[in-house]
DNA sequence: CGGACAAGCTGA
DNA sequence: CAGCTTGTCCGG
């Protein structure tokens, strides 16, 4: 007799079934089965074997064995993650399972010729993998090759590699295969991974992929938002990978050019040598636009030079979710929150209408914080015009790229939203036309996301040795993000960011959950009136509540104790936006 | 989720 | 009061 968790959205409950003798050999914890439930057939996973029969209940037999599913330790990991992110096990087990039924495994691939011996391993990676803490964050600059890092890990045994995107995983896999290593790219090659490939690689779902005989786990670009699942449960791949490695007793290394404060709180930091780090960040030119007219000064002389004869140039313009910025008419400074540094907007009510921070809601009188002037002007980019104007300035064709546009235009100069950075190959220069939208984004991870953009740009143009250029136009030229990138020193931003998080009670200082949806009021009302020490709940007034706890354990236990009412309820633990 | 069944609403 | 909609419950 086995216990089965049905793959049905609203059911987070297990049911017991008899195993027909004919199927007995194919059934273990994790196996995907079909069961008769309430008059219909649904899929599910075996979650326990040898269940003691309950009294007085006629059990139905399993209808069918669908095929291989996640290994027993992954089923346990899913239970842990369901607790950690207040989600359903079924949604996590789906991620951990093959997309198509796997009836049998292919023969185990030969590991291939993994170069071993002295001189083959990246010394920084070796130090990270052998860190006594069992886990480490390895800071390697953007242009540092990741192929050799994976190779060095593969030399120590079977390795699970998690990347923020599928194309990145595919590209690394091609390089590894060329080197003769056996690779399984998940989710497509789930069965090959289960059969025992030397490297199992994929996007965030790879944190759940099969990898028998796992020797180490490597997460690449650990700062990237792509490692977090957008829909609830909002699990984060490096957290899952770390927990999996801990349970398996193997090391986990998270590699990133710009580790977030959350990563730095999670594991000890290992850094490459200063010269390696400097060489791996592109030269960054900061163009101070404070003296330019906010309405006309979109194109600095340096920008015009670059698009005229800068080879392949990509111009990034953030036109989506573009908030209006206020600029001082006297000194050119951008209006920012005096408490947290995010961009402020002007309210319509009040006399005079006050400035309000989009991040921490602090309000202040409408004066320039730099020079005291009352002349604050709204700055809006004429985005639709930018492509045309650049084409006129450059004297050569300019193509437009966004997430929605079709094939890549055949032009040496491209203008696009951030999506363009994910779609182009190597280029000679990247220009951020108006970086202040990024620098001052009223999101709690805004500054880190801005540095991540500069890191991505650095990778596209190659490191300092390739003479690629990254150009940033800004009215906040001394922002920590820019200083960090200019100096190839991400620790700088991490230090200041750490202070902001402590002051505002944000992660990693505190653990957060955002509760929303029609059922949210009932759910919130069912929380104990006397919250555990250090916890608080704040309503937004728009049907969502922010729950704050000293750490994830307290937060998860609290969410677990509340009554989950019927109806739609979204619980976002570690929300990307608050 | 989706079927079963109960409780409410409507119109001749 | 049949016939239908809407709500609540529960599954092995």
Q: What is the pLDDT along chain A (578 residues), one digit of tens a residue?
A: 999 999 998 899 999 999 999 999 999 999 999 999 998 999 999 999 999 877 767 889 999 999 999 999 999 999 999 999 999 999 999 999 999 999 999 999 887 777 665 556 678 899 999 999 999 999 999 999 999 999 999 999 999 999 999 999 999 999 999 989 999 999 999 999 999 999 999 999 999 999 999 999 999 999 999 999 999 999 999 999 999 999 999 999 999 999 999 999 999 999 999 999 999 999 999 999 988 876 556 788 899 999 998 789 999 987 543 446 777 877 778 888 888 888 887 776 777 788 888 788 888 888 888 888 878 776 655 455 678 888 888 889 988 886 667 788 888 999 888 888 988 889 999 999 989 989 998 899 999 999 999 999 999 999 887 888 999 999 999 999 999 999 999 999 999 999 999 999 999 999 999 999 888 888 898 888 899 999 999 998 788 999 999 999 999 999 998 888 877 889 999 998 88
Tokens describing residue A284: 């960054």
Q: Say how far A8 CA is from C6 C1', in Å.
A: 23
Contact A66, A34 (CB under 8 A): yes
CA distance A415 to A438: 17
Q: Say how far A81 CA is from C10 C1', in Å.
A: 26
Per-residue model confidence (pLDDT) at position A320: 46
3-state secondary structure of A440: coil
Is the alpha carbon torsion for A162, A165, A170, A172 positive or negative?
A: negative
Residue A504: in which H helix or E strand, if any? helix A490-504
- Report which DSSP code applies to A181: B
Q: Say how far A35 CA is from B4 C1', in Å.
A: 19
A568 touches strand B (CB under 7 A): no
Which bases along strand B come within 7 Å of a protein CB atom?
1-4
Tokens describing residue A171: 């590209």
Q: Say how far A400 CA is from C1 C1', in Å.
A: 68
Is the alpha carbon torsion for A449, A454, A459, A461 positive or negative?
A: positive
A467: left (phi over 0), alpha (psi -120 to 50) or beta: left
Residue A521: in which H helix or E strand, if any? helix A520-525
Query: Nearest nt to A566, CA vs C1'?
Result: C8
CA distance A357 to A502: 18
A524 touches strand B (CB under 7 A): no
A493: left (phi over 0), alpha (psi -120 to 50) or beta: alpha
C-beta pairs of A265-268 under 8 Å, 24+ apart in sequence: A265/A508, A266/A135, A266/A137, A266/A238, A266/A239, A266/A242, A266/A508, A267/A131, A267/A133, A267/A135, A267/A136, A267/A137, A267/A242, A268/A131, A268/A133, A268/A135, A268/A136, A268/A137
Q: Say how far A568 CA is from C9 C1', in Å.
A: 17
Q: Return phi, psi of residue A157, to 5°.
A: 130, -175
């Amino acid at each position: 007799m086995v216990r089965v968790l049905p793959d049905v959205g609203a059911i987070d409950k297990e049911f017991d079934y008899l195993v027909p003798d004919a199927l007995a050999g194919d059934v273990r914890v994790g196996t995907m089965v079909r069961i008769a439930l309430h008059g219909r057939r649904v899929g599910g996973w075996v979650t326990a074997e040898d269940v003691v029969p309950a009294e007085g209940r006629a059990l139905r037999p399993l209808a069918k064995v669908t095929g291989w599913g996640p290994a027993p330790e992954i089923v346990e990991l899913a239970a842990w993650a369901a607790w950690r992110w207040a989600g359903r096990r079924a949604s996590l087990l789906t991620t951990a399972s093959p997309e198509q039924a796997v009836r049998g495994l292919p023969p185990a691939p030969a590991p291939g010729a993994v170069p071993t011996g002295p001189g083959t391993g990246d010394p920084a990676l070796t130090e990270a993998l052998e860190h006594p803490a069992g886990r480490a964050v390895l800071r390697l600059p953007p242009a540092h090759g990741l192929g050799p890092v994976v190779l060095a890990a593969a030399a120590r045994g079977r390795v699970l590699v998690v990347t923020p995107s599928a194309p990145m995983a595919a590209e690394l896999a091609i390089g590894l295969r060329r080197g003769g290593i056996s690779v399984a790219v998940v989710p497509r090659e789930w069965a090959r991974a289960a059969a025992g490939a030397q490297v199992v690689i994929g996007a965030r779902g790879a944190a759940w992929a099969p990898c028998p005989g796992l020797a180490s786990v490597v997460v690449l670009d650990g700062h990237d938002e792509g490692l977090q699942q957008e829909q609830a449960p909002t699990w984060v791949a490096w957290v899952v990978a770390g927990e999996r490695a801990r349970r398996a007793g193997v090391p986990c290394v998270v590699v990133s050019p710009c580790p977030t404060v959350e990563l730095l709180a999670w594991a000890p930091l290992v850094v490459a040598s200063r010269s390696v780090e400097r060489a791996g960040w592109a030269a960054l030119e900061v163009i101070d636009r404070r003296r330019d007219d906010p309405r006309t000064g979109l194109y600095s002389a340096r920008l015009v030079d670059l698009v005229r004869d800068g080879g392949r140039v990509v111009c990034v313009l953030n036109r989506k979710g573009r908030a209006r910025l206020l600029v001082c008419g006297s000194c050119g400074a951008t209006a920012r929150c005096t408490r947290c540094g995010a961009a402020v907007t002007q309210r319509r009510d009040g006399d005079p209408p006050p400035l309000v921070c989009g991040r921490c809601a602090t309000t202040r009188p409408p004066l320039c914080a730099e020079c005291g002037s009352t002349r604050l002007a709204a700055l809006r980019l004429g985005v639709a015009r930018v492509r045309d104007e650049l084409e006129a300035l450059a004297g050569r064709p300019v193509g437009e790229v966004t997430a929605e546009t079709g094939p890549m235009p055949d032009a040496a100069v491209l203008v696009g939203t951030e999506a363009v950075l994910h779609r182009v190959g190597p280029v000679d220069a990247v220009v951020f036309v108006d970086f202040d939208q990024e620098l001052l984004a009223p999101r709690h991870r805004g500054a880190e996301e801005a540095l991540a953009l500069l890191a991505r740009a650095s990778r596209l143009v190659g490191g300092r040795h390739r003479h690629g250029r990254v150009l940033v136009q800004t009215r906040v030229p001394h922002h920590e993000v820019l200083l960090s990138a200019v100096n190839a020193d991400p620790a700088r931003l991490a230090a200041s960011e750490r202070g902001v998080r402590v002051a505002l009670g944000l992660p990693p200082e505190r653990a957060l959950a955002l509760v929303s949806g029609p059922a949210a009021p009932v759910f919130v009302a069912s929380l104990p009136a006397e919250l555990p020490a250090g916890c608080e709940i704040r309503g937004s007034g728009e049907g969502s509540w922010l729950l704050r706890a000293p750490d994830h354990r307290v937060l998860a236990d609290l969410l677990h104790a509340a009554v989950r009412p019927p109806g739609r309820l979204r619980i976002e633990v570690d929300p990307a936006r608050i």
